[in-house]
Structure 1
């Protein structure tokens, strides 16, 4: 199992994340991206003309990536850590694939997607019993 039930629920409820790739100069590059969590635990990242983007070209050259989805917890006292940050970081290997239907906004986004295969998952403030989960998958 790649994600815990809490991580899966959180990721399915979000639509925006940040993909970090390694640029041509060896430095990091981060971009906000739309994504979909797949049933097999992979993440598909899409965008308009994705195949011409710097992030896509970066993955072609160096497929090691980090993908972050985070936000602030609701101020509701019934929630976990009200008013604190929460999120999931996924470190893994990305591959470039072409799909029949774009995973997000099919009328606007391209069929060329970046698919992230998680190798390490770190999450925080998603569950009451533990603040931090970190594991290799």
Structure 2
């Protein structure tokens, strides 16, 4: 399983994430967007209206390495020193899919599908960071 139960529940509760991609000149780009978690494959789908015309799409064509961050602020402290921030970063490789059902009404029939390689979660299962490589399941606190 790619995501822990807590991570999956958190991702399902949130509506907004930010996708970071790298352009052909090495310049980073960060876009707010919606997403869908595929529980059967442990992947994440990202769509949009006219997705194939977007800069993030062109960036993924040139360099499929991406990072998706989903985070929020809680009403009560959840971390050390009274921290109220929590979230998850999913680093991985994006695949471009064409001719698929739109993610939601008004979206085109293309998707970016993220195959997670590293997950860094903070203040979800308790205080502090929790990082692991998805392929090996190796856990550590290095982010």
Q: Same fold (TM over 0.5)?
A: yes
Q: Which residue of 2 aligns with 1:9?
A: 9
SS in 2 for 1:51: helix
Residue correspondences, number: 131
Alpha-carbon contact 1:74-1:83 (below 8 Å) kept: no
Q: Which residue of 1 aligns with 2:89?
A: 89
Q: How far, CA to CA, are the matches of 2:14 and 2:100 in structure 1?
A: 23
Q: TM-score with structure 2 length normalisation? A: 0.85
RMSD of Structure 2 on Structure 1 (CA): 1.5
Q: Which residue of 1 aligns with 2:72?
A: 71
Task: Give the gaps of 5 or more residues in structure 2.
Answer: 135-143
SS in 2 for 1:95: strand
Q: Which runs of 4+ in 1 moved over 6 A?
A: none
Q: Summarize deviations over 1:30-71 as a string: whole Å, max 9, x none.
A: 000110000111000011101110000100110000110001
CA offset at residue 99 of structure 1? 4.8
CA offset at residue 102 of structure 1? 1.5
Q: How far, CA to CA, are the matches of 1:100 and 1:117 in structure 2?
A: 17
Alpha-carbon contact 2:100-2:111 (below 8 Å) kept: no
